[in-house]
Amino acid sequence: MSATFIGMPGNFPKNAEKAVQDSQLRFNLRKATHTIRDKRAEVVGELPDWGELRAAGKAIKDDVLHNLDRYLIQLEEAVTRAGGTVHWARDAAEANRIVTDLVKATGETEVVKVKSMATQEIGLNEALAAHGIAAYETDLAELIVQLGDDFPSHILVPAIHRNRSEIREIFLDKMPGVSRDLTDDPPALTEAARLHLRDRFLRSKVAISGANFMVAETGTLVVLESEGNGRMCLSLPETLISVVGIEKLLPSWRDLEVFLQLLPRSSTGERMNPYTSMWTGAVEGQEFHLVLLDNGRTDVLADEVGRQALRCIRCSACLNVCPVYERAGGHAYGSVYPGPIGAILTPQLRGMTTDLDASLPFASSLCGACYDVCPVAIDIPEVLVDLRAKAPHAAAERAAMKVAGWVLDDHERLATAQRAATRLRRFVPKKGLPGPMSAWTDTRDVPEIPEESFRDWWERAGRSASAEER
């Protein structure tokens, strides 16, 4: 992928403009998010102890965060004992350098990759390319994104913004040796990808992955996937390099009993995803390197309100229920982490120094649906409100107006927004919000938010501000 999110200009509402006006894209997004959302609700409803699993998941991750130093050291010892090598990277540049050097040491100029948000976050593919190393994405959606020289737009289904005929065009254009008779039937497109990657899997000597979980107690890494490209990359090549954020830990082996129930059901809406691979250190004669990545995470950890974002297990459930994501699409968030989680994670990881990052905490109607579905109970609205108070004002106000405009321009969203206003009662905002947003938090002394307040505010302040912005 030559495209990278790093340094993307603009701000959230500006970036979303195209998506908002693209009715086909909005139809696709709506269909996709609603389909996954319904599947999730069904399989979550099957478990009588979902609430208890969620409470345990939240507490386990909080325990990880509060004792992260101890668990990292324990993990390092366990991985090392099992024949793996552990590397530490303060930031993207350091991680990229470590991985590049490891690949160079093998003498290889090609690597296969399993979908990994951490390596996208650090722009690893571009860094490798600069040293003459080609990185091949193997997840079908990532392959579509990479061949299309495009950005991922969803955590779980990164090519959600592409329809079948676009995918066919991309394959015909960019996939060497593909049959000209290729149809846009999904099984035919999938078969083309299978054939395209088959040889590459069998001959690649180096693979790069992320991980969903790392178990401190045992040194075990865990990758959940569907297609089998993960299994291919994790088990066939001679050298495996995994780049993993330091927050991805679980304290003990036993904790997997919680997360292997929470993640698949929240993510793909299945009782279990097709394949989960677990390995501890160097397995079956493989060479194994683990790169532990900070890249802003310790800064997030230092924020008492914001640190809960590090509990995230990247299930994408919050994207699928978000009325703003459904409208704006994933690209507008300008980062590998879209949707509600992106709106709180990206500004914290990168700091709110750009217009884009400062606008992200406003990419929400605060309806709270994201919190309800989050398997580790991250109170995303709470973090949003906290970040809004810290954001530079000008960008923030513009963004707020725009998002409010989309939310209010049809009935369903108006209803959502009204629910949001009511939900704000859950917060006792620590600081007042800037500018027009203060209308949302000036109610802090009022025990009940009147049902009409949001609409009133919009009538009073919103229309004029949004007209001026256009």
Partner 1 sequence: MASGMSAREEILAKVRAAVAGAPTVEIPRGYRTRRQVDDLVGLFAERVGDYRAIVRVVPSAELGATIDACVHGRRMVVPDGFGRDGGWDDLDTADGVMTHCAVAIAETGTIVLDHGPGQGTRAQTLVPDYHLCVVLADQIVPGVPEAVERLDPSRPLTWISGPSATSDIELNRVEGVHGPRTLEVLIST
> 141-180: which residues touch partner 1 (CB under 8 A)?
141, 144, 157-160, 163-164, 167
Crossing angle for the helix pair 50-66 and 256-267, nearest 10 degrees?
A: 120
Q: Which amino acid is at 258?
A: V
401 binds ligand SF4 (CB under 6 A): no
Q: How far apart are CA 385 and CA 23, in angstroms?
A: 30
Q: In the stretch 59-98, what mask flags binding to partner 1 with x, by CB under 8 A?
A: xx-xx-xxxxx--xx--------x-----xxx---x----
Positive or negative CA dihedral for 173, 140, 373, 334? negative
Residue 102 binds: one of partner 1, ligand SF4, none (C-beta under 5 to 8 A by kind): none
Say whether residue 117 binds partner 1 (CB under 8 A): no
Site string for partner 1, 228-247 (x = CB under 8 A): xx-xx-xxx---------x-
For residues 274 and 257, what is the distance between their CA atoms, to the nearest angstrom?
A: 17
Smaller CB separation from ligand SF4, 234 or 377: 377
- Binding partner at 341 among partner 1, ligand SF4, none, C-beta below 5 to 8 Å by kind: ligand SF4
From 111, 215, 374, 387, residue interacting with partner 1 (rule: CB under 8 A): 215
By the 8 A CB rule, do 325 and 33 touch?
yes
Q: Find tokens 């001959």 and name the residue.
A: 203
Rg of the Cα atoms in the chain = 22
Q: CB-side exposure of 468: number of CA atoms within 13 Å?
A: 9
Q: Is the CB of 63 or the CB of 469 nearer to partner 1? A: 63
Given partner 1, ligand SF4, none, residue 41, with its beta carbon under 5 to 8 Å by kind, binds none
Q: Encoding tokens for residue 285?
A: 């004669």
Tell me the closest approach of the beta carbon of residue 9 to partner 1, in angstroms: 29
Closer by beta carbon to partner 1, 82 or else 414: 82
Residue of 336, 376, 391, 465 that binds ligand SF4 (CB under 6 A): 376
Among 314, 331, 350, 402, binds ligand SF4 (CB under 6 A): 314
Footprint of partner 1 on residues 335-364 (CB under 8 A)?
A: none
User: Is-contact 397 406, C-beta < 8 A?
Assistant: no
Within 10 A of 130 (CB to CB), how many other CB atoms are there? 11
E strand residue ranges, 182-269: 206-209, 213-215, 220-225, 239-245, 249-250
> Which residues lie near ligand SF4 (CB under 6 A)?
266, 312-318, 341, 373-376, 378
